[in-house]
Structures are given as C-alpha cells and as structure tokens.
Structure 1
C-alpha cells in the first residue's frame, strides 16, 4: 500500500468516528486525532515516509507486529501500547480501518461514562 493511501484510509475512518477531531498540538507536520481530548491516532511524514500510529492492546500489537512487516512499535510513543503502520507492505484497507477503530475504542473505554461519545462495548462490533 502506498503511504498517501495508507494515511487517507486512516484519516477517512477517523473522520467518521463520533466525537473525533483533528488537532496540531505538535506542529503542522503531525496530524493528531483525538476523542474528548485524548489521542487515538497520529499521522506524520517526519520519518521520511507517511506513517500512521495508533493505540493497540499489548497482546494485539505483539501479534500484529509478528504477522505484518509493515507494523512496528509506535514511533515516539509507548512501544507496548502503540503501533506504527508503514507503507509498502500488504496492509489492506479493512485492516487499517479496523486498527483505527480499535484505537479509538481503547481510548473511549477509558473515558468516564458521561463523556463517551459511543458505547465501546457495542460500537462497530458485530455479534456483541
């Protein structure tokens, strides 16, 4: 997948999520997506390639890094709780969208119930 495509898929999905917003707290070279003032995704090209960094449960991040060469520990983030998606590999659109959604839900579930824009136990999850 091309880098601009990777970031476009991630950005498009983030913009669909209730309560999500784009900010630039680290300068114009970092697109930071937040829900209720909590970061769930970062996009940048400061590494020389367009990357996407999202939150992941530690065991999921470990499994994803083992399965995909283009998923690495989170760039400039806690390596246990964040992963970075890099262009050029075999990531598909639905995987990028799922990882962005899961990152969003990981943040939402830590918010006080009154501040949650969605129920993290049911939003976007079939069969629950």
Structure 2
C-alpha cells in the first residue's frame, strides 16, 4: 500500500520542526522520506543531534514549542526526556529523533533506513 505524498499540512509541520531545531542549533539534520517504504510507522523521520543532554533537551522542547506556535499541534507521544540521550517526538506523520552525538552514531538510524530517500538539511551558520 502506497502512502499519501506530502501535503500542505505535513509540509507546514516539517517546516515548524526544522525551525525548532535551527533555533537551538541542532547538528547534522537529516530528513528521511519513508513514503515509499511499506509498513513504516510514519512518512518522515527528522534526525539531528546535540552536544550535551542540556542541548538535546533544549532542541526537543524548542521543536515542541515551535510546532505548537506555528501549526497548533502537540506531539502524540514523547519519550526520552528523563535522560535526554535520545528524545523521540511523535507527530504521527513525522517522528523527530534528537540524539546525543555518540548515541546517534550507535543506533545509526540513517543506515537502518538506507533504502529510503535521505536529504541532508542545510543549517544556518
């Protein structure tokens, strides 16, 4: 079964998520398009990392605030704030993964979903 291509609402959600990450200077932002992958939980993964638990926590909270302000949505589920080495924010169509650098390297989600289209998002300097 083919998933629905990105619509206006999903694009607004993606833009808000990326804006929230940029505000706290999330590193190595990647968008993984899962729309052509059967049986995946969502349409997109957004992955980034921070340099400390404090930055990971700040990035994830920034995403939550920015999405709520720009799109009016709250995460359906969130996990990982208790230790902030990997915070997951589930927005149904989009799952946001905010890692500490070493944890990101260990789980290597980009490689796990290597058959999906991957786009590196440019950050503002």
Is TM-score (shorter-chain normalized) higher than 0.5? no
| Structure-2-length-normalised TM-score | 0.30
Higher relative contact order (CA 8 A, sep 6+): 2
